[in-house]
Structure 1
């Protein structure tokens, strides 16, 4: 996977990855002491380059750095977590 420069757009509550004039993003919200990962979207023509993975990794890095638990609603991020069992201690079940 090539390194990507993920941007945290706090105003839009998105981790964003601008590439070739388009933006891949992972939407989030905050609830109590957790970050809630809502939805990942990568433009179709940019798919298959690891951008979704880079966005998910950035979200978990952010959670760790800010001592937040993570609630996952996004199916893509759920799959990412299943491939990274070391993240299990950060996950809390959505209520």
Structure 2
């Protein structure tokens, strides 16, 4: 399984994407948009079929949670996968926008 240090954050003015490339070629991605200075909305997570079941999607969500904690941001997980991870991990509640 890929480690957190392999996750790359690519930001734009209005959002960004977390990218994890476990092997050459395909990459897992989780996109987000900004809703103000202190709020991000995770809107899509995509993990290639070959990497499913390895915890890669969870690693992307964990990285976003850690980044939100460091920056004082909150997260709205609109993406069904990210929303499910927030439900499974109550320890993420400190960054969940209520």
Q: Under a length normalisation based on structure 1, what TM-score does the superposition of the two structures give?
A: 0.88
Instruction: Indicate yes or no: 2:6 matched with 1:3.
Output: no
Structure with more helix by fraction: 2
Ranges in structure 2 where 5+ consecutive residues have no aligned partner = none
State whether residues 2 and 22 of structure 2, in contact with CA within 8 Å, keep that contact through their aligned partners in structure 1.
no
2:44 is paired with a residue whose SS is: strand
Give runs of aligned pairs for residues 20-59 of structure 1, distance below 5 A: 20=23, 21-32=25-36, 33-59=38-64
- Aligned twin of 2:82: 77
Unaligned runs of 5+ in 1: none
TM-score, structure 2 as length reference:
0.86
* Superposition misfits of 4+ residues, deviation over 2 angstroms: 1-4
C-alpha offsets along residues 36-86 of structure 1, whole Å, 9 cap, x if unaligned? Answer: 111100011111111100000001011111100111101111111111101
